[in-house]
Amino acid sequence: MAGVTQDAVVAALRTVQDPELHQDLISLGMVRGVSIDGPCVRVHVELTTPACPVRETIARDIQTALRQVAGVEDVQVEFSARARPGVVPEGELPLVGSVLAVGAGKGGVGKSTAAVMLATGLRRRGRAVGLLDADVYGPSIPTLLGIAGRKPSVRDHRMVPIDAGGLKVMSIGFLVDPTQPMILRGPVIHGVVKQFLEQVEWGVLDYLIVDLPPGTGDVPLTLAQSIPVTGAVVICTPQDVALHDARRAIRMYQHLNVECLGIIENMSYYLCPKCGHRDEPFNHGGAARAARELQVPFLGEIPLNAQVRVLGDEGAPEKLFTDTPDYVRVAIEAVVANVEEQVELRQHAESDAPKLTIE
C-alpha cells in the first residue's frame, strides 16, 4: 500500500474551516507545518490568540478529516499563537494584539455603549480585553461598567487599570471630579491620551478597545500617531444627519491611514414588547447603504430597546448578553462576532509568517 502523501494531507486540510472565519485553514495561512512519519501525521496550527475559544473544535475537525486519508492511523495537532507588539519601545507599552478605535461622527448615537458591548462580548469569547475611555470630554465608561468613583492604584510609577468583571479599564473619569466640566485644549488632550497609552500597566491583551470622543478632533489624531491601530469601528444611527457625520469620520480615519473595520447601525429599529409591532423612529438601513457606498464592511444593526438603557444606567454590561430579549442579544452577539472576524481577516492578510512546510 502506498504511503501517506503530502498532497492528500493538504487536500484534506482544505476541507477544514475555521468555525468563526468560515474559510479553510490552508487559505487562511493557519497551517504552518505538516510532518508525515509513516501512518502518523502531525499538524502545526497558528491561532490569532492563545485564548482562541474554537481551538478544540479545530483540532477535532482536523483529526476527523485526516483520518479519512488512506494510510493515516494517528493525527497529532499542536497549536501556537501569534502576538503583535505595541508601538512604543518595550517597557512603555505591553504586548497588545489588536487596538480597536470606536468612534462616531456625532454624539448621541450610542458610541460608548457600543464600545462596552464590544469589550464585554470579546471578553465573553475568551479574549483578554482592555477598555480605554479616551472620550475626555464626556467619560461615560465608568458609569456604564458600574465602577464610577473608583480610583486606579499606582505600581512602580505606572497606573494599574480598574478591573471591571475581567475587563481592564482606564478613564479620565476616575481622576477628575464628575461634576466639573472638562475644558481641555489640544496639547493637554494629547498628553492625557499619551499617558493612558504609555503609563498604564495594561499587561498582555488580545484587544485594547479605545472609546473616542465623537467627531474628528485631536484624540483620533493622537491615537493614530502614538500606536498602530488595527482598525476603527464607526457607530451611527440610520438618519441622514448621523450618516453624513459618519462618512466624515470614516474619511478622517482613511486620511490617518487607519483602516475602517466597518459600520454599526445603532437604534436601528424598535419592537413593541407588548404587541411586537416594528417601528423605525430614525429610519432604517442607512448604515448598510453608507457602508456599500464607502466600500467598508457593514457590521450589523443593534435594535433600540429600553432594557439596553436600563442595564447601562445600572452598570451591568454582562446582562446585555443574558437579560435582554433574544432578538437584541442575538444582534449584539452578531456584531461582536463580525468585528472579530474583520480583525482576524486582516491579521491573516498581513501575516508575514513562513509558508506551509511539509516534512
Domain CATH for 163: 3.40.50.300
**152 and 263 assigned to the same domain:** yes
* Assigned domain for 91 exists: no
Query: Does the structure show a pLDDT above 50 at 84?
Result: no
CATH number for the domain spanning 11: value is: 3.30.300.130
DSSP 302: E
Instruction: Give the integer Cα–Cα distance in Å for 270 and 262.
Output: 23
**166 and 291 assigned to the same domain:** yes
* Assigned domain for 51 exists: yes
**228 and 132 assigned to the same domain:** yes
Instruction: Give the integer Cα–Cα distance in Å for 142 and 138.
Output: 11
**43 and 184 assigned to the same domain:** no
**24 and 54 assigned to the same domain:** yes
* Assigned domain for 347 exists: no
**192 and 45 assigned to the same domain:** no
Query: Between 171 and 358, where is the model more confident?
Result: 171
Query: Does the structure show a pLDDT above 50 at 299?
Result: yes
C-alpha cell at 164: 471591571
Query: Between 105 and 40, where is the model more confident?
Result: 40
Instruction: Give the integer Cα–Cα distance in Å for 90 and 77.
Output: 32
Lowest pLDDT segment from 26-40, 176-190, 256-270: 176-190
Average pLDDT over residues 253-281: 88
Specify which of 34-48, 94-108, 214-228 reaches the highest per-range mean pLDDT: 34-48
Helix segments in the chain, DSSP class H: 6-13, 25-28, 55-66, 111-124, 141-144, 186-198, 218-226, 240-255, 286-294, 306-314, 326-350
pLDDT at 68: 92
Instruction: Give the integer Cα–Cα distance in Å for 210 and 145.
Output: 15
**29 and 103 assigned to the same domain:** no
**245 and 273 assigned to the same domain:** yes
Average pLDDT over residues 211-235: 79
Query: Does the structure show a pLDDT above 50 at 93?
Result: no
Query: Does the structure show a pLDDT above 90 at 94?
Result: no
Read off the pLDDT band of 29 (50, 70, 90).
Answer: confident
Question: 17 lies in which domain range?
Answer: 6-82
* Assigned domain for 88 exists: no
Other Cβ atoms closer than 10 A to 326: 7
* Assigned domain for 350 exists: no
3-state secondary structure of 265: strand
C-alpha cell at 80: 501556537
Lowest pLDDT segment from 27-36, 82-91, 270-279: 82-91
Strands 129-133 and 153-155 come out as: unpaired
pLDDT at 61: 94
Query: What is the number of structural domains in the chain?
Result: 2
Instruction: Give the integer Cα–Cα distance in Å for 263 and 302.
Output: 11
3-state secondary structure of 20: coil
CB neighbour burial string for 24-35, b if at least 16 within 10 angstroms, e if fewer: ebbebbbbbbbe
Instruction: Give the integer Cα–Cα distance in Å for 280 and 245.
Output: 20
Each residue's pLDDT tens digit, 127-164:
899 999 988 777 899 999 999 889 888 888 888 999 99
For 236, half-sphere exposure in the C-beta direction (CA atoms, 13 angstrom radius) is 30
* Assigned domain for 168 exists: yes
Average pLDDT over residues 159-188: 76
* Assigned domain for 351 exists: no
**126 and 266 assigned to the same domain:** yes
Under 8 Å between Cβ of 44 and 32: yes
* Assigned domain for 352 exists: no
**60 and 115 assigned to the same domain:** no
C-alpha cell at 165: 468583571
**183 and 223 assigned to the same domain:** yes
**77 and 201 assigned to the same domain:** no
